[in-house]
Structure 1
Amino acid sequence: MLEVQIPAARRPADLVTTVRLALVCAVAALVVRAMVAPVALGLLVPLASVALVLDAVDGAVARRTVCTRFGARYDMEVDAFLVLALSVHVARTVAWWVILIGLARYLLLVAGWLWPWLRAQTPPRYWAKVVAAVQGIVLTAVTADVMPRTLALTALAVALALLVESFAHQVRQLRRLGSADTVDRPPTVAVTVAAYVVLWLALVAPDRVRDLSLAAFLQVPVELLALVLLAAVLPSSVRRPAVAALGVVLTLLTVVRALDLGFSVVLDRRFDLLNDSYYVGPGLGVVRDSSGIVAVVGLVAGVAVLVVVIGVVLTAAVRRVASSAARHRRVGVTVVAAAATVGAFSAAAGGGVASTGTSVLAARQVQAVSFDLADRHVFAGEIAEDDPLPPGLLSRLRGKDVLLVFVESYGRVAVQGTSYSRGVDAVLDRGTAQLRAAGYDSRSAFLTSPTFGAASWLAHSTLQSGLWVDSQQRYNQLVTSSHATLTSAFEQAGWRTVFDVPAVTKDWSDGRRFYGFDKLYDERNVGYRGPRFSYAPMPDQFTIAAFEQHELTAGPRKPVMAEIDLVSSHHPWTPLPQLVPWSAVGDGSVFSRVPAVGGSPDEVLRSPSRVRAAYGKSVEYTWSALVSWLARRPDPNLVLVVLGDHQPHSYVTGASPGHDVPISVIAQDPAVLDAVSGWGWSAGLRPPPDAPVTRMDTFRDRFLATFSDPAPEGSP
């Protein structure tokens, strides 16, 4: 009788559960916030801990007052939501597979839509309550970062194993219970509301991280209103195939939206359907080099499962909403008309309660494909344009070794306005003084790179060719042409041309054919016998030392023009090697005996502040190695052009960082620096914020014009 006399909203246990729900919502909000900005664990962990403690409290209160099926279900769903939120956070910072802990409950619910017998009630099992409690406790402990990584992974694996056993036991019980006739079906209204919510969220979700906000999810999706209206007026013979097709289209657009979000975090741009499929291979290669082949297999499997789950859930939701609208045509049409009226008045008043984000997303993809197809012809014309090299080609550099040095991910943010730029600035200022003491001088400015966060080869080819190469499609077109590059110009003028690319691990036939270099040094042929440092196959110090040993030999030889790629500052920026005496570099085995600096990539990537600090330290290391090498070998016939290829990922740069990268010309010969005086560049290795900025594709022609003399040519 007590259950009847006390309304649901006033049952003491349910009031406690409602308080827990508020805490869990706060936890979820912090988890979402942590995806785009640092969040203090001192707030997240206590909220989760209190929610866990109150779980025991509302159970005790229920046993002393009244237990209801509603209360038990309410309590279970709040528990599941807390576990989901915590698993999302831990999956981002520790291991991707932890998300399975949070999704388990919801995967079973989705499966119940397909196999009704899974919706039957099972007898209470105390062990299941223990397992559920273990999930929350373990996830909270790992979130608090109070245990070593190995122990944390072990605890998470045990928790997941217990959860799998618990759900497997439940499924076996449900299977034995019999047919769907015994199923306690969920309320029709609840399932329909859930379907509307799923579609609502899928249709209004932003496609860029900076647009993530509560307001974005409170807009009314016009596409959902259109679905309701069409389902209400279309005959069933048309509606059913249309619903199936819409489920597929919505799944594809949701995947594209997720890719847009990911690309905005890493590359500060949206996903390009035609061009960006190429990056799957290189991207998995970076994961393999940083975390191992097991991580690659797990990532691929996890993505495949996630796409299937998204497809099943969205298709089921579309079917449910369409079916509901068809059964209640008058209500559906009335709701759509009312929503359209409110939206029209809101728009007229300058407001914005309506969202057409998914339609815009689809239209943008169509436009992007159309643009990419047209751009093939545009760029083919640019490649084919007459491209004469200046007379007296590079005669002002005759007899000099010229090194074009790319510093990986060395962007404007490294030298100004960030928490880590102070350390880089100090290294550059100190380096300027050291080089002046050794007889070198330098001039610096900025170039605007065609890429951001990755795809270094686009920047390399842009600088070399004098063409704007901002997509994989353009790069593929360029390297199959005979367009002149800086390397081919130096080769034509009599230099020996070299590429030193330590990250290359196999034959690079396209590069050899296009650039036409005389020699390629890569991971396989420089004699390195030391350890890898995450992505970097070898330290930058070894790359420089090996190049000097192989190419800058004493005695008669051709002058050398080389592109050298320094990759110690490549994501994930940790661990870093330490500098050793140059005489001790040898075959690199010395680096096995010198402790690396920084934590493992998995440890560092958990903390946005540690990631940014690691990035700054990696740039400091590369510049320290380069300056140290130059200071020990004064050479009036050595010229360096040192620049970044692109900015680091946007979770390092912050919002709206631009595409600028620093560039410096370093030389001892005053004639070299006098020649670039007309460029207006600033003195020293560190360009000030107001230093000149030009596009990267302008550098080739400017450099060739500056250092070519129309007077009669001689040999270098």
Structure 2
Amino acid sequence: MRVVHLRAVQRGRVVGAPALQLGLLAGLAATAGLSAGGWAAGLTCLVGLDVLLVRSLVRAGLIGASGTRLGAANAVTLGRATLACGVAALVVTSFSRTTPAPPAAAIVGLAVVALALDAVDGRVARRTGTVSAVGARFDMEADAFLILVLAGYLAPVAGWWVLAIGLARYVLVAASWAMPWLRAGAPARSWRKVVAAVQGIVLVAAASGVLPAALLSVVLATALALLAWSFGTEAWWLWRHRDPSPDVARRVRGRAPLAVAATGTAVVLVWFAVAGPASAPSAAGGYLRLPLDVLVVAGLAVALPDRLRAAMAVGVGGLLGLLTVLKLLDLGSTTAVGRPFDPLTDWRYLGSATGLLRDSLGAAQGVAVAVAALVLAGGVLVLMPLSVLRLTTLAARRRAGTAAVVSVLGVGWTLAAALGLQAAPGVPVASTGAAGLAVDQVRLVRADRRDREQFAREARVDAFRDTPADRLLTGLRGKDVLLVFVESYGRAALEGPGPTSGVVGALDAGTQRLQASGYASASAFLTSPTFGGISWLAHSTLQSGTWVDSQRRYDDLVAGDRFTLSQAFGRAGWRTVSDVPSNRQDWPPGRSFYRYDQLYDARNVGYRGPSFSYASMPDQYTLAAFRHLELTGRPRPPVMAEIDLVSSHTPWAPVPRMVDPDAVGDGSVYDGMPAQGQAPGDVWPDVAKVRAAYATSIAYSLDALTSFVAGSGDDDLVLVVLGDHQPASIVSGARAGHDVPVSIIARDPAVLDRVASWGWQPGLRPSPSAPVWPMDTFRDRFLSAYR
């Protein structure tokens, strides 16, 4: 039968004049300049129109393999519907940003002709004795489509609520799938025909621009109210006259709402899996794509026998479930750290994420969120196969209709792909959906293997590995050198988009305070390999002089023998120390790779005070304890230390207050301070509050640091102070870069003289035009400057 349909269309037996249909679009292109989207919309509409007409006529027995009886009335309706397709092409073109908008007169003119013909086809059918259910249905669909197109044209101007006028008919059809009693015919009422005509007249009048702005919304709202009354009274009549059989009534009342809910849930799940964006949750345009894999699965549901269809649905659903979990992880990873989730190595971050939730929200809430995430992932893996099975079963029950829809959408997909149409910037309409995501994951695995080999080659090239001790760091001999990372201290702290006055004030005041104490400083920017988190990638990049932008690279690095700054200082005679107050367990790479002589963490610095969300202790205490443990007493060897300050770690609340340095003691002075500050729940997820809290935390860390330096009075103290990465995108913005400030602070002028050629700017605050280096270049430049 499908062959008969196709032949009938191809020979023009039913459509009558396909060349005239294409001629309409060609004429519009010549006069109004159709965009690529307009051409695609018009052609897709024409194909769908022809398929709908052929299917309806064949079901009614009006055409067969040898001949057709389209009839004059249906021919008029076909012409009217063809004009509606032309209006659709013009409307889509009006939304294009690259093609001039067609004149409203063209849209209104075609719509007026189509509405005028609405009064012709019915009269022709009655005079020729060819009134039929097919003709009535075809007439109704032509009216409904034209009204939808006109409503879409007006929506950007009058408000998106106007779409309710165009969607009313289709909402009723969708509801009838779950509530069969809506499919029965209600008695004809002339006033309903008047209401239907009013919709078209009102929309055309509104599109023409003749209605004053003050009157436009009133007229459209009145038309919508009349339409709602018409559909409402019809639905009420059908409800009252539905099948009174108890079994049928029970099924309608009991099963229909559940069926609608189940089908709706299945549609949402599957559509998110195949069409939802994998990186930008705010990119609503991503959901407007046309996924090829949906068309393929729908086609298989029609073509396969039931057993094979069920097996296919479960298999595809399982794969979609897994890909959806990966997509959710991608969304979270992109939002938090600015890059997609790596399925090979990023699983180990889930434990860290759980710990961060516990520290930020409290033990009970953190565990609850983690459990909810696991339940969500498990639910997706279970529900996705069931959803695909349900939808393919529904498609198989309506094989003819599904085949027609797949045919039309297949043409639309091909045209969209050929014309390069985009639903949003960088988001093509013709999508490969989940299949594309699966291919991307496979490519990611292959790329990871190639990257691993390349990284191994890069790590082997090291100009300083074999440098003898007497030629290392001679320009810093006898000085204590501290490498201080300030958590989340990025360019956003200085330049926005959030408030920056507090940070800028802390930097300028710190510069003046240091100058008063005899210290000078110079600053610039480094480009970090990470964003929003995973700080150890930045630490290892700076220390090793290699670009470490993934957990795989980090694992390979610490398993090797790459020469680090800490090793260089150790070889040259310094006592090397690591101070990471966020650590609560042993850190093997500290000994095996960085080769520190001493490791400090939350357990062995004598802190007896409260924690501040993620931060186990305030930065002021971290620096005071380090001074007490390592910088007091003589004689002693010079100390090189990496110190990680974490008071500015997300969630940036509560933030400690500075106390008198002599009162720091064992940290008990901070008792009660967390309860006096903002709780994370008071800050998140309000963007303005989060950004303000972030700026406050950075200002505190900088105050603690400059207070520590200015109060040391040590002529032989040298610091390299820098951020590890930019804060998460909620603070830094969706398009923020990876730059972080870096400063060198010293009291001995010779220290800064050696790096004068770097062109860094004086003071702690680099301007937007300050030099920017990749972070992996710092090690070699630092060792070269002080060799």
Q: TM-score, normalised by structure 2?
A: 0.65
Residue among 195, 199, 202 paired with 2:270: 199
The residue number in structure 2 matching 1:317 is: 387
Residue among 441, 464, 482 paired with 1:403: 482
Name the CA shift for 1:197/1:522 in 2 (closer, same or farther; >3 Å). Answer: closer
Conserved? CA contact 1:576–1:597, under 8 Å: no
**Distance in 2 between residues matched to 1:330 and 1:404, nearest whole Å:** 71
SS at match of 2:648: coil
**Distance in 2 between residues matched to 1:336 and 1:503, nearest whole Å:** 56
> Is 2:492 the counterpart of 1:429?
no
**Distance in 1 between residues matched to 2:679 and 2:537, nearest whole Å:** 29
Q: In the TM superposition, what is the alpha-carbon distance from 1:377 to its structure 2 partner?
A: 2.4
Q: In the TM superposition, what is the alpha-carbon distance from 1:370 to its structure 2 partner?
A: 1.3
The residue number in structure 2 matching 1:292 is: 362
Name the CA shift for 1:212/1:403 in 2 (closer, same or farther; >3 Å). Answer: same
> Is 2:764 the counterpart of 1:688?
no
SS at match of 1:515: coil
**Distance in 2 between residues matched to 1:189 and 1:508, nearest whole Å:** 54
**Distance in 2 between residues matched to 1:562 and 1:538, nearest whole Å:** 18
> Counterparts of 1:300-379 in structure 2 under 5 Å?
300-352=370-422, 353-379=429-455
Conserved? CA contact 1:120–1:182, under 8 Å: yes
Q: In the TM superposition, what is the alpha-carbon distance from 1:650 to its structure 2 partner?
A: 0.8
Residue among 487, 491, 494 paired with 1:412: 491
Between the two proteins, what is the percent identity of the paired residues?
Answer: 50
Residue among 630, 633, 640 paired with 1:561: 640
Q: In the TM superposition, what is the alpha-carbon distance from 1:237 to its structure 2 partner?
A: 4.0
Q: Letter of the aligned partner of 2:277 in structure 1? A: P
> Is 2:683 the counterpart of 1:604?
yes
The residue number in structure 2 matching 1:697 is: 776
Superposed CA offset, 1:597-653 (max 9, x none): 631011111321111101100000000111112222222211000000011111111
Q: In the TM superposition, what is the alpha-carbon distance from 1:294 to its structure 2 partner?
A: 1.9
**Distance in 2 between residues matched to 1:533 and 1:189, nearest whole Å:** 48
The residue number in structure 2 matching 1:624 is: 703
Q: Letter of the aligned partner of 1:494 in structure 2? A: G
Q: Letter of the aligned partner of 1:384 in structure 2? A: R
**Distance in 1 between residues matched to 2:661 and 2:269, nearest whole Å:** 61
Conserved? CA contact 1:408–1:566, under 8 Å: yes
**Distance in 2 between residues matched to 1:577 and 1:474, nearest whole Å:** 35
Name the CA shift for 1:199/1:493 in 2 (closer, same or farther; >3 Å). Answer: same
The residue number in structure 1 matching 2:119 is: none
Q: In the TM superposition, what is the alpha-carbon distance from 1:194 to its structure 2 partner?
A: 6.2
The residue number in structure 1 matching 2:53 is: none
SS at match of 2:522: strand
**Distance in 2 between residues matched to 1:366 and 1:601, nearest whole Å:** 39
The residue number in structure 2 matching 1:157 is: none
Superposed CA offset, 1:431-454 (max 9, x none): 111111111111101111111111
Residue among 577, 581, 592 paired with 1:513: 592
**Distance in 1 between residues matched to 2:560 and 2:277, nearest whole Å:** 40
Name the CA shift for 1:493/1:202 in 2 (closer, same or farther; >3 Å). Answer: same
Q: In the TM superposition, what is the alpha-carbon distance from 1:207 to its structure 2 partner?
A: 1.5
* Greater CA drift, 433-442 or 330-339: 330-339
Q: How many residues align?
A: 544
> Counterparts of 1:644-663 in structure 2 under 5 Å?
644-663=723-742
Superposed CA offset, 1:289-346 (max 9, x none): 2223322331232122222332343222211222233333333232222112223334
Q: Letter of the aligned partner of 2:753 in structure 1? A: D
Q: In the TM superposition, what is the alpha-carbon distance from 1:350 to its structure 2 partner?
A: 4.3
Q: Letter of the aligned partner of 2:570 in structure 1? A: E
**Distance in 2 between residues matched to 1:427 and 1:669, nearest whole Å:** 23
**Distance in 2 between residues matched to 1:274 and 1:550, nearest whole Å:** 40
Conserved? CA contact 1:574–1:597, under 8 Å: no
The residue number in structure 2 matching 1:246 is: 316
Name the CA shift for 1:273/1:594 in 2 (closer, same or farther; >3 Å). Answer: closer
Q: Letter of the aligned partner of 1:411 in structure 2? A: G
**Distance in 2 between residues matched to 1:576 and 1:69, nearest whole Å:** 65
The residue number in structure 2 matching 1:57 is: none
**Distance in 2 between residues matched to 1:548 and 1:189, nearest whole Å:** 68
Name the CA shift for 1:196/1:506 in 2 (closer, same or farther; >3 Å). Answer: closer
Conserved? CA contact 1:578–1:597, under 8 Å: no
The residue number in structure 2 matching 1:280 is: 350
**Distance in 1 between residues matched to 2:704 and 2:287, nearest whole Å:** 49
Residue among 517, 524, 529 paired with 1:445: 524
Q: Letter of the aligned partner of 1:588 in structure 2? A: G
Higher Rg: 2
* Greater CA drift, 588-597 or 607-616: 588-597
> Is 2:302 the counterpart of 1:217?
no
Name the CA shift for 1:397/1:317 in 2 (closer, same or farther; >3 Å). Answer: same
**Distance in 1 between residues matched to 2:527 and 2:237, nearest whole Å:** 63
Name the CA shift for 1:249/1:548 in 2 (closer, same or farther; >3 Å). Answer: same
**Distance in 2 between residues matched to 1:469 and 1:530, nearest whole Å:** 35
Task: Tell me the C-alpha RMSD between the 2 structures.
Answer: 2.8
**Distance in 1 between residues matched to 2:238 and 2:698, nearest whole Å:** 58
Superposed CA offset, 1:98-127 (max 9, x none): xxxxxxxxxxxxxxxxxxxxx997xxxxxx
Q: Letter of the aligned partner of 1:310 in structure 2? A: V
Residue among 217, 229, 253 paired with 2:299: 229
Q: In the TM superposition, what is the alpha-carbon distance from 1:457 to its structure 2 partner?
A: 0.8
The residue number in structure 2 matching 1:479 is: 558
**Distance in 2 between residues matched to 1:357 and 1:208, nearest whole Å:** 14
Conserved? CA contact 2:578–2:590, under 8 Å: no
Q: Letter of the aligned partner of 2:293 in structure 1? A: E
Superposed CA offset, 1:215-242 (max 9, x none): 3323322211111112222333432222
Unaligned runs of at least 5 residues, structure 1: 1-20, 26-60, 73-118, 122-179, 709-716
Q: In the TM superposition, what is the alpha-carbon distance from 1:355 to its structure 2 partner?
A: 2.6
Superposed CA offset, 1:522-545 (max 9, x none): 111111111111111111000100
Q: Letter of the aligned partner of 1:220 in structure 2? A: L
Q: In the TM superposition, what is the alpha-carbon distance from 1:68 to its structure 2 partner?
A: 6.8
Q: Letter of the aligned partner of 1:204 in structure 2? A: A
**Distance in 1 between residues matched to 2:239 and 2:699, nearest whole Å:** 58
Name the CA shift for 1:193/1:523 in 2 (closer, same or farther; >3 Å). Answer: closer
**Distance in 2 between residues matched to 1:69 and 1:396, nearest whole Å:** 94
SS at match of 2:640: strand
Conserved? CA contact 1:261–1:270, under 8 Å: yes
Q: Letter of the aligned partner of 2:440 in structure 1? A: R
> Is 2:539 the counterpart of 1:460?
yes
Conserved? CA contact 1:409–1:570, under 8 Å: yes
Conserved? CA contact 1:267–1:454, under 8 Å: yes
Q: In the TM superposition, what is the alpha-carbon distance from 1:366 to its structure 2 partner?
A: 0.9
Conserved? CA contact 2:292–2:413, under 8 Å: no
> Is 2:546 the counterpart of 1:470?
no
Conserved? CA contact 2:590–2:599, under 8 Å: no
> Is 2:499 the counterpart of 1:394?
no
SS at match of 1:443: strand
**Distance in 2 between residues matched to 1:573 and 1:651, nearest whole Å:** 12
> Counterparts of 1:82-121 in structure 2 under 5 Å?
none
Q: In the TM superposition, what is the alpha-carbon distance from 1:582 to its structure 2 partner?
A: 0.7
SS at match of 2:593: helix
**Distance in 2 between residues matched to 1:70 and 1:218, nearest whole Å:** 34
Q: In the TM superposition, what is the alpha-carbon distance from 1:705 to its structure 2 partner?
A: 0.7
Unaligned runs of at least 5 residues, structure 2: 1-159, 165-228, 241-247, 423-428
Conserved? CA contact 1:387–1:484, under 8 Å: no
* Greater CA drift, 376-385 or 510-519: 376-385
**Distance in 1 between residues matched to 2:481 and 2:573, nearest whole Å:** 12
**Distance in 2 between residues matched to 1:550 and 1:543, nearest whole Å:** 10
**Distance in 2 between residues matched to 1:185 and 1:418, nearest whole Å:** 50
**Distance in 2 between residues matched to 1:613 and 1:522, nearest whole Å:** 29
Superposed CA offset, 1:387-406 (max 9, x none): 43456100010100000000
**Distance in 2 between residues matched to 1:515 and 1:534, nearest whole Å:** 28
